[in-house]
Structure 1
């Protein structure tokens, strides 16, 4: 008898990567909560008890640095080093790891080691960086858990420069690895590599879609051949200015990074890019994580193809030198084609001694090359002024580049308090958002006394809660910026943000300053802000019949205007806050989707978001005092009424507009409450409703209060 099972697949098809099999493919407009569940502890190979900061302290840091320097000149047959030195490759790897950072949402950057995973591991701009990471594997294997991939990639870039004769500004560890792709980062809407559909006006580089910084899908910065692959240094300069500004760099830093990055190493394009194999994520299983296999010649060394451009920028590309600007300004340059067919600039009538030697063919000199971005430093008037100064003063270039490189590779690591290691620069830099340390301690008795003062100072509980929330909600887990520490809500620009209700804020800050002035111990305004909100919530919980202490940790400092980069902080301004049922204006994105984005940036889970929404509504914390979503007759008391009434079938939900709804009593037809989409999504979305039903249960009133307070304290302490 014939086996009826013959030819049938022996496993369920849920294990494949076909996105058409997902739930979201059936209902693509449904709210996708996956953004809040990234990097679950179940994916962490080291376990939830692993403490990287403690492991790093055990690291033989000097031994690691020495091993990295030795690696630079230990050329491997399977991937030979250019001029016998891996410096250029390692610097490119570190640069591209850090270079994805963008200021608008703080996402990207080197902080998570995400270059190991899709899509970054397979971006066109990251061709052959898989080889750099594999060259590092023996060192990672040796030092193990004491050094993360994220830290190792940046340190490798630093040691590459050091081994080539350049003195870096310093290094700090503290970057913790992730263990799967970051699906929550928006890299652009294009469906094709190197696609370009991110400008509302394609003739204006400034209309680049927020929060993006790179000009095309799969690029780190700008197209090296020119805008849209057409050489035009002046046009490229405009694109560079927008892109680097969105990556937190000014003109001087941009010029220094371009020159310093291109002083060493080379571009690779000695072959046909169209015949390269699949990228790492798509390559066959026998490639073992390698991509872009080159079938031509050796497949590497002099036959390497990466960017498609071919050549070095300087005369001595295996060591730090000052020939970059010498070549750029001493010669006229013209457009030529690389062997791979890419447009690149090459010098006219260059002296033989100014040509770099071939990276692999002994005794042969080659033309240096420049990208369109390099030529922009010569052609753009502002870039040229800076470039000429660097040309005349190489020591100044080295100083500016060292700090710019440190900023590039540490911008998303967060405040200096998170830095680890012995090579941390002593100098405080404005982009690190410095905060003074406090010189006081608070006993439990003193904290209780302060609570009484705050609750009896004439401010309402809502005013105290809102001020604490507004101070803390700016925190971004993406780059560890913002938060209540520093009390920058007192300063420009935060004190004037519409979302912070400036008049109410001014009143609260004046009262807190008055309280501070009358204290024997000058407690920081930052600590008073948090304690005021906590005391008000504690009282609201007690009024709901739950006697509970809201945990409070003192020690926050108060920053000054001199410590605050106004322009840099402007990107933290909230344009929406679903927790306070507010948005600055109408947006194309749905309010509930904006809520998820804000929640993820604050480092909160879907359950924490649910608890906070329910609590904030009944506490009456809506922006401007609106009553949308305040589903309670006991406003100001920390009850579970929001969830009870949201799930009560005695009501029906009647649209007033595409954003507002009436909650109508079925029997009388009278409107009981009003709501926004943010409120009602907790009843309509199957997962969020499941959470809401838990909190609506009669036996979970106390659980709700406890969960709300845990989430609240997490927000208040997120930046500590």
Structure 2
């Protein structure tokens, strides 16, 4: 068939679907297969800047004051492309930053503004993010001007902070240092719903008990940042809404005072938009036509700007002067009685029963016209809930205290997912160290590392005890918000010292030996715990016939109880650990799926996860001394035996129950070992088996040890932001 034949028959010479979302994927054919895509997020191939790009080096040449001046000018002077309400973009950019940061959730640390993920689906097209696409386009000339010296992530968050400064707030500070991602975080779980704004009931065991919301979710409905502004499932009831606000904001790491301050301060500037029919809006950015060039939600029946803008569906401003930082929200909410109304777009909103014309905000385009102010159900919740009401009364008695509380809460909102203060860059970083930053003092670096290792080796502690303790100390790290890890040695403090996954009795015994060694040599306990793991691995590698030195960087510090917000560490408690072959209890999610989630949070690739699991089995570090997956008669030696015996054609695998298996000799039927689903998935999944076969090869004995040590060192040093 020649080209003319193809043209005549209408057949396309390229494969259909494989390069689009409509293609049939491997997971479509085999939906029960283990999907490793979440680990491929660690792949750097999508990064366009090259392997030598260092954003923190680029930041050193950024003219911060010039950048801030350009943002200040943008707030009030750039009206050519997308006209602003009242000639000011302060509301627009406060919302861009808020909705970038507001997707953060404390349970797994995912979301937030620290990666610039608002540029990609699904966040760029969430219903709650309507018109943030316009804000990002308004920022583009500034991003283009400063280029690599400022990331999108930093620029979006900075724009909101500058917006508040332009409005008149004295902000608490700002830190640069957020590095952009270059592809969607498509495997972040935002909920099981398949439609936007589906009823929230499915997220709860009982929607009347907000604490029963499915973990790790925080927002009440698919496509919302926090709560539904019209009420639970769109049904106004401020008291019900207050309970959902409290749960949602607590899952975003905010207490009641911070929640009230953010609600009041967030609604002090800007307005809601609902003066029209949302049915006339074009598709969202991700689903719009190719000629729209990534802009969505355009009004196809009118101007779609100024007083004709449709966003949330609610219509109106909260305060008399919506571009100024003042106490106007409190004056409006507590100075009037309110009644339930509907906006022109049909959304529920609250409006004052009686209001003087001079107290009404002016029209966004014509200052000679006054418009009715509004409150959402979330605003009304601050008035009817007794705890929130009392906090608001305190703010009204002391406006300076309110401004300071909001400024601090805004800083926390926009920086919580950045991790410890060591990652902060720039001239406006506050000097004060905040407890939610999980502070850790600098540790000693000048001590006899060799002497410490010798003492540990002669201590009588087993290699498995040393390795398990070091692992348990470090495994809490999660790259989603850079919390946890070995630095600080918080494993010896509440609540970590009592976590079931840390085997408290074994932990206390090991720490009772390592503590005096640290004191004797002037080292931190954090360093000595990690060194203990190094000693154990080096001994185990030598027992396998390979001499290796585990890389070590001193300088970890020891946190104190006073530096530790114990309650906020509860979310870091491991309830499973595939690397130590342990699950606290039966969960709806399969153990191998839990393993992928933890590995991704730790920043591991599929290869690193594989070599660590196989090596840890041989080291005898299973939780509680379990023998599942210990496919060797040389336990304690860092051998390839896990992979050799996993891939041995002389073995068969027989289920005992839903989670455990017996490994039997194919000829004799003799049971040789036992295993869990986590063990066997490395032989059953085609991708993981490919890695397992590499480590089972006769010529890869040294490679296995080297790769294990490299992956181990990566975990031990994942939280070392104080070193290059």
Aligned mates of 1:598, 1:712 — CA distance in 2: 15
Show the 5 A alignment for 1:136-151. 136-151=139-154
1:11-50 to 2 correspondence within 5 Å?
Answer: 11-50=14-53
Confirm whether residue 344 of structure 1 aligns to residue 349 of structure 2: yes
Match in the other structure for 1:176: 179
For the structure 1 residues 415 and 217, does the alpha-carbon distance in structure 2 shift closer, same or farther, using more than 3 Å as the test? same
CA distance in 2, matches of 1:183, 1:317: 36
Q: Secondary structure at the match of 2:710?
A: helix
Specify which of 224, 228, 239 is matched with residue 233 of structure 2. 228
Q: Per-residue deviation at 1:204?
A: 2.0
SS in 2 for 1:4: helix
Instruction: Report Cα offsets for 1:379-400 as digits up to 9, x if no partner.
Output: 0111100011111211110011
Q: Is the 8 A contact 2:275 2:344 kept in 1?
A: yes
1:679-713 CA-partner distances (Å, limit 9, x unpaired): 00001111101100000000001100000000000
SS of aligned partner of 2:369: coil
| Distance in 1 separating the partners of 2:70 and 2:519 | 55
SS in 2 for 1:228: coil
Q: Where do 5+ consecutive residues of structure 1 fail to align?
A: none
Q: Report the equivalent of 1:495.
A: 497
Provide the TM-score with structure 1 as the length reference. 0.98
Give the secondary-structure state (helix, strand or coil) at the position aligned to 2:341: strand
Superposition pairs for residues 105-254 of structure 1, below 5 Å?
A: 105-195=108-198, 196=200, 197-254=202-259
Shift in Å, 1:164:
1.1
The offset of 1:439, in angstroms, is: 4.1
Which residue of structure 2 lines up, in the alignment, with residue 65 of structure 1? Answer: 68
Q: Which deviations, in whole Å up to 9, do the C-alpha atoms of 1:567-592 show, x marking residues without a partner?
A: 10011000000000001100011000
The 3-state SS of whatever aligns with 2:568 is: helix
2:687 matched residue in structure 1? 687
Map 1:326-475 to 2 at 5 A. 326-442=331-447, 446-475=448-477
Cα displacement (A) at 1:202: 2.6
The 8 Å contact of residues 42 and 605 in structure 2, kept in 1 or not, is answered as no
Q: 1:558 to 1:19 in 2, by over 3 A?
A: farther
Aligned-partner Cα distance in 1 for 2:632–2:364? 73
> Structure 1: how far apart are the matches of 2:704 and 2:387?
58
- Contact kept? 2:444, 2:554, Cα under 8 Å: no
Aligned equivalents of 1:18 and 1:597: distance in 2? 24
Shift of 1:77: 3.2
Q: Which residue of 1 aligns with 2:557?
A: 557
Conserved 8 A contact 1:79-1:301 = no
Counterpart CA distance in 2 for 1:152 and 1:189 is: 31
Matched, 1:508 2:513: no
Instruction: Sort the Cα spacing of 1:361 and 1:386 in 2 relative to 1 into closer, same or farther, 3 A.
Output: same
Q: TM-score, normalised by structure 2?
A: 0.98
Aligned length: 715
Residue 455 (structure 1) shift: 1.0
Report SS of the residue matched to 2:663: strand
Cα deviation, 1:264-310, whole Å, max 9, x if unaligned, reads 01111111011110000010011111001102322211111000111
Within 1, Cα distance between the matches of 2:213 and 2:301?
A: 38
Contact 1:125 1:219 (C-alpha < 8 Å) held by counterparts: yes
Q: How far, CA to CA, are the matches of 2:25 and 2:518 in structure 1?
A: 55
Query: Which of residues 470, 476, 479 in structure 1 aligns to 2:478?
Result: 476
Contact 1:69–1:160 (8 Å) recurs in 2:
yes
**What residue number does 1:662 align with?**
662
The 1:239/1:416 distance shift into structure 2, 3 A limit, reads: same
| 3-state secondary structure, aligned to 1:585 | coil
Distance in 1, matches of 2:156 and 2:412, equals: 15
Q: Is the contact made by 2:39 and 2:606 (CA closer than 8 Å) also made in structure 1?
A: yes
Alignment of 1:647-658 (within 5 A): 647-658=647-658
C-alpha deviation, 1:39, in angstroms:
5.0
Please report how far the alpha carbon of residue 15 of structure 1 lies from its aligned counterpart in structure 2 after TM superposition. Answer: 4.5
1:24-81 per-residue CA deviation (whole Å, 9 max, x = no partner) reads 1000010000000015221111112211111111100111011101100024233101
User: Following TM superposition, by how much is the alpha carbon of 1:13 offset from its aligned partner in structure 2, in angstroms?
Assistant: 2.0
1:247-268 residue CA offsets vs partner (Å, 9 max, x unmatched): 0000000000000000001111
SS in 1 for 2:5: coil
- CA distance in structure 2 between the aligned counterparts of 1:53 and 1:189, rounded to whole angstroms: 37
Instruction: Answer yes or no: is the 8 Å Cα contact 1:296–1:303 preserved in 2.
Output: no
Instruction: For 1:176 and 1:29, locate their aligned partners in 2 and report how far apart those are by CA, in whole Å.
Output: 34
Tell me the alpha carbon deviations over residues 616-638 of structure 1, each in whole angstroms, 9 at most, x when there is no partner. 00000000000000001100000
Number of the residue aligned with 1:673: 673
- Contact (CA 8 Å) 1:271, 1:296: kept in 2 or not? no
Q: Is the 8 A contact 1:457 1:511 kept in 2?
A: yes
Q: Is the CA contact 1:39–1:178 (under 8 Å) kept in the aligned structure 2? A: no
Deviations 1:200-228 (A, max 9, x none): 21332221110000000000000001111
Q: Considering only aligned residues, what root-mean-square deviation do their CA atoms show, in Å? A: 1.1
